[in-house]
Amino acid sequence: MNQRNGRGIAKKAGAATLLTVGALSLTGCDVTPPAAIDKVLRMGWPEGITPEAHSLGNFWVWIWVAAWTIGIIMWGLFLVAIFRWSAKRAKREGRGEFPKQLQYNIPLELVLTTIPIVIVMAIFFFTTQAQNKVTALDKNPEVTVDVTGFQWNWKFGYAEIDQKLSPTGSKYMGEDPARQQQAADSAMQPDVNGNLPIHGKSKKDLSYLHFNKIETLGTTEEIPVLVLPSHTPIEFRLASADVSHSFWIPEFLFKRDVYSHPETNQQQRAFQVEEIEREGAFVGRCAELCGTYHAMMNFELRVVTADQFREYLKFRNENPQAPNSEALRHIGEEPYAITTHPFNTDRATPDGNNYVDNNKAA
Ligand SMILES: [Cu+2]
């Protein structure tokens, strides 16, 4: 009697798992969870601001739903096994010490082998689906920005701007030829002993970095603000001038390591977003422990309208000496970062208050 019950429960559990996985496979993971429970299911993940972020967010949520479902079924089975077939209980009820052993029950073992395989295959399928969407380089970017990470800050440069957003009226190419040439030359500068130690290249080879005419450079006193247009496909090209960093805007639900010599390191330096869906200020961080002041390696993504963006670039193009804050003020935006602020890096700050207020200084 008990055994039949046990098998009944195992069958039901198996069927429930299959149903859950099956339902997920049919709907696909790229389905937004119902708004009412979305926030709970996200478990602290921020709301995405790109289509790619939504994909990752949905993936995250449904994987957790599947994991919880499987977890609850398994915990249930453990508890049933522990209490129903305990030796004490068997003794009390005058049964033998062991319940009937099922280790050579072929159908049962087949089911218990198949279910995990199906689960792993489903998870693998959805992982690949989300990952392919995020890493695809087929989004026809209208703006390409160069992101350079270094100890301990960021530099952002505008590399290519499509005609409709261009500050000049035709397709804008932002490379700074003089500094790019300098970088190219750095590969062949021998060290003090006259050697080129790395496969015939200098240790200070920076030829892989991109240098642009319009750049925003972060400093200890000022958080770099990366200005980008909403509703526009954008390509980010990442490279580090020294150690490994990681480019992370939490609202992208995505981060990408920033390497020096990305191609030599088998690293694809570019990633693209189809669009940024809303304007606003979003904090960005370095997500790779990169040394003493890693925690202070913050930046801000400022998403503005396409018209504001064109005006911003035009101002910067025409006023190469003007600081970024002035260009931001010119388009009616807050001149300094509002999502994060610089820190006083002096460790001897007696009162522990190391807040630096740009806006006060301005
Ligand atoms: Cu870093």
Residue ranges and CATH numbers for the domains of the chain are: 2-135 (no CATH), 143-175+210-361 (2.60.40.420)
Q: Which residues contact 124 (CB under 8 A, 6 or more apart)?
A: none
Q: Which residues contact 28 (CB under 8 A, 6 or more apart)?
A: 126, 129
Q: Token digits for 173? A: 């190419």
**Per-residue confidence at 88, pLDDT binned at 50, 70, 90?**
confident
Residue 24 has pLDDT above 60, yes or no: no
Residue 97 has pLDDT above 70, yes or no: yes
User: 3-state DSSP call for residue 90?
Assistant: helix
**CB crowding 166-175: b at 16 or more within 10 Å, else e:** bbeeeebebb
Residue % of the chain over a pLDDT of 70: 86
Query: What is the CA(221)–ligand 1 centre distance, in A?
Result: 17
* Mean pLDDT value of segment 123-128: 92
**Per-residue confidence at 37, pLDDT binned at 50, 70, 90?**
confident
Residue 156 has pLDDT above 80, yes or no: yes
* Mean pLDDT value of segment 70-91: 90
The number of CA neighbours under 13 Å toward the Cβ of 90 is: 14
Q: How far apart are CA 349 and CA 347, in angstroms?
A: 6
Q: Token digits for 108? A: 């049962």
Query: What is the CA(265)–ligand 1 centre distance, in A?
Result: 17
Asked which of 79-88, 140-149, 221-230, 256-265 is least confident by mean pLDDT, the reply is 79-88
* Mean pLDDT value of segment 174-191: 88
Query: What is the CA(226)–ligand 1 centre distance, in A?
Result: 16
* Mean pLDDT value of segment 159-172: 91
Query: What is the CA(149)–ligand 1 centre distance, in A?
Result: 7
**CB crowding 57-89: b at 16 or more within 10 Å, else e:** bbbbbbbeebeebbeebeeeeeeeeeeebeeee
**Per-residue confidence at 299, pLDDT binned at 50, 70, 90?**
very high
Instruction: Name the residues around ion ligand 1, CB cutoff 5 A.
Output: 245, 286, 290, 297
